Structure 1
């Protein structure tokens, strides 16, 4: 399938149903070729554990056997503030997500340290930070929809027009990354109140109670803050249930601009055949919404690690996705997803470079044995 640009939707109302037709699964035939190639290495079955599965997933996403090494990974982080943080549901004060963004831009956050160590460029996309535009670089703020999202427990996080604008912004970022040659995206988020929005989305889509999905967030809130967070999710759930059949309206009601943009990004990345590593509970919530929109889309996403957030476990179970790592990292910003990147790179290297027993009629490896490009 040829690459599909989001401009095809720009001249008319956004129709999320189109994604079901636009998104195809990674190439199944190529995955079988990768499995067969792995069987010819002579290594016992399961000797490399999950590395075999990761290499085959990446090979199918690329449409090529042997898999290409990852040459241009990129971390994309969607940032925003949430009005619900004003209820003191977070360890950080409401409206302070811009400080997290500056920390990452300065290279001082855990995600920034790992990205620098792993040689991964970082792109931060401000969707709804509660700060003046001139406080951050223009390339960070150019997609901003509004200052902070509304308080999801008593009002819509966004208007429907704002939700569409944010969704399209996420699609545009996905197109820009695909056009730039990004071959894998590490998806992150930076927000204050974002885990409350994510928990509400996951509870709504999984049909569960607020207490089941309410976690402690990245800062480890105390019991009183947890109770306030649980009450906010409960009230948000009441507002979400009537719009469960309309995913864009659902995001407008309880999601916020950053989560809406990340959902658009995930879906358009699947259209453009760009594999994505998910981070924590926020990206898991966006992936769950994306699954509702296009059931084949999750085949393009990999869960980097399991955090301590119970809502993430619910979402990944519903997505039928097993995390690569279980480190309990909840700091956000893409940290957990970045931790999985070396394993994906290792899987690609092993799948590409382990010698195989030639089949009858094969050319020598030096002449390109097993190279297969999907049409």
Structure 2
């Protein structure tokens, strides 16, 4: 209980530092879009994204010049139960490639003009590579079918690592961050957390991850259902009002779920989402794992939601349910399932193109034309 209270206290302190986005700056951005000589709302969701970014940055003079991708890397003890085709050694190899600049996310980030920051927040192996940041308290989580995945202090350390990573990059002048992950077994941990937080059976939120066959998916579902029942996990409905007691109960149940069946990468990504709200940096989400992290962060601190941007609707079935709850409408529908932050990085060039129109196109006033009327 003492360690849980430390986590709750830390989150309350984080919540006190979160201020709402600047709605006036967002409205100014919207007015500027409407003044540009083109069909109103012609760039659709990209216009909405830039309006949101204007509100986050507190100015209609949007800047997206310096971009980064944060890839949280960790291993998951649940792979002992046969829920993945691969072992932890794949986490080691792929993380090493990311640190060396050789992975898919590096290639795509190079095209998008973004820097990549891999972070070891709980890998089983200890890698010492230039370019790999190490922020971990334990080497992988436990098998959550047999015991809780981690201790309260491990969870808190990983959440802090995510917040502090966002702080470091904000201080480094980065204008927007994409989130990614690497960790064999993390679609199982994320599906488990999603199942509990959404109150949905594992059958409705669990997919093949990196490529399980039908029997493998059935095994994965059975493991999640068995663990949820064994640990008596369950969010008991939505908050009934806005009382402090209800809010605390939601935070406690969310943290218990994260600690019991979650992953260290999931904790760190949750912290990175919270950090985006504290330091007013737009956070672009990737696939299932980052979506679950966003859901977790918003259950802990609802004010985080306004600082998050979805990139794509991934193939894992939980994503649609999560985005429905968060009222997110992702821009890209390309059946992506690669991970590493690649889907989030894919949004960067689209935002850059929209920003070019936003900054440089002539306005109706420049052309001495009557502006279109907005009948929405």
Is the partner of 1:45 in helix, strand or coil?
coil
Matched, 1:39 2:30: no
Distance 1:108 1:15 in 2: 37
* Residue deviations 1:246-299 (CA, integer Å, cap 9, x gap): 133322111121111111111012110010110000000010011111112111
Matched, 1:165 2:157: yes
Which residue of the other structure, out of 31, 35, 49, is the alignment partner of 2:44?
A: 49
Distance 1:155 1:276 in 2: 33
Comparing 341-350 with 188-197, greater Cα deviation is found at 341-350
Which residue of the other structure, out of 334, 338, 341, is the alignment partner of 1:334?
A: 341
| 2:221 equivalent in structure 1 | 230
Which residue of the other structure, out of 17, 24, 27, is the alignment partner of 1:29?
A: 24
For normalisation by structure 2, the TM-score amounts to 0.87
- Pairwise CA distance, 1:172: 1.3
Unaligned runs of 5+ in 2: 1-5, 236-249, 367-376
Distance 2:282 2:34 in 1: 24
Distance 2:21 2:232 in 1: 32
- 1:1-375 mapped onto 2 (5 Å cutoff): 14-68=9-63, 70-131=64-125, 133=126, 135-137=127-129, 140-217=132-209, 219-238=210-229, 239=231, 241=233, 245-246=251-252, 247-358=254-365
- Pairwise CA distance, 1:343: 0.9
Distance 1:207 1:313 in 2: 14
Q: Please give the root-mean-square deviation of Cα atoms over the aligned residues, in Å.
A: 2.0
For normalisation by structure 1, the TM-score amounts to 0.87
Report if the CA contact (8 A) 1:81-1:95 is conserved: no
Distance 1:117 1:245 in 2: 39
Distance 1:46 1:336 in 2: 24
Per the alignment, do residues 182 and 141 of structure 1 end up closer, same or farther by CA in structure 2, a change over 3 Å counting?
closer
* Residue deviations 1:188-240 (CA, integer Å, cap 9, x gap): 000100010101111111100010011010x2111121111111211232326
How many pairs align? Answer: 345
Per the alignment, do residues 91 and 286 of structure 1 end up closer, same or farther by CA in structure 2, a change over 3 Å counting?
same
Per the alignment, do residues 59 and 137 of structure 1 end up closer, same or farther by CA in structure 2, a change over 3 Å counting?
same
Distance 1:242 1:299 in 2: 26
Distance 2:109 2:7 in 1: 38
